[in-house]
Amino acid sequence: METYPKSIELEDGKIITFSIMTDGDLEEVIGFFQSLPEKDRLYLRSDTANPENVRRRFGNPNYETMFPILARADKELIGMATLWRAAFGWMRNLGEVRVVIAPEYQKKGLATILTRELFFQALKKKLYKLQAELMDTQVSAMSAFEKLGFRKEATLRKQVTDITGVRRDLVIMSLDVEELWYLMEDHIKTPDFRIH
């Protein structure tokens, strides 16, 4: 967390600032989720148009189980990436990656950069594996994860239902990170990414 806030530059020259979410950001996060169009909210696990759902999920963040990164452009919240993990139990070394980007900043490389940020946090926490769960229609998101080394583990037919009531296939993708722990030795710093 000592590496935040930090800034990166997108291919179009736009400067994006990353910071770690605190409880003081909660109302801004609520506004961000409410601003998403329905086509993007289709893929979220709860109805984020309801502020109480966002408060229950992100209020009073516990950084041992949730590592939330906020992305801002010109001080406006335009993206959020979260690494979720269990505090104990047989899944404690698995991290789940979730990334949400405002429509006007999609397909600019931002989701890839945010996922890389979560990847380095997973290395620091010595997680064994990262996992992403997507609906089968999220083709561009799956492509972005594949470019980062994620591979499809399974497709579960008609496993999930979007907010409109349509049943979808659930695609599970994962990335083994255990063998890459050596990258996080003290003499190696997490790089800033400049996408060109």
Whose structure tokens read 């041992």? 64
Q: What is the pLDDT of residue 120?
A: 87
Q: Which CATH superfamily is domain 6-184 in?
A: Gcn5-related N-acetyltransferase (GNAT) (3.40.630.30)
Q: Considering only CA atoms, which of 131, 124, 128 is closest in space to residue 190?
A: 124
- Give the model's pLDDT for residue 180: 63
Q: Domain residues of the chain, as ranges?
A: 6-184
Task: Return the pLDDT at 179.
Answer: 63
Q: What's the CA gap between 102 and 2, in Å, rounded?
A: 26
The candidate with the shortest Cα–Cα distance to 43, out of 52, 33, 51, is 33
Closest CA to 16 of 81, 65, 61: 81
What pLDDT does residue 194 have? 41
Task: Give the Å distances, CA to CA, from 117 to 70, 81, 124, 148, 178.
Answer: 11, 9, 11, 12, 16
Report yes or no: 123 and 115 within 8 Å, Cβ to Cβ: no
Please give the average pLDDT of every successive group of 10 residues along the chain, which has 196 residues: 86 94 96 91 82 92 92 96 86 89 92 91 87 90 88 94 88 84 47 39
pLDDT of residue 187: 37
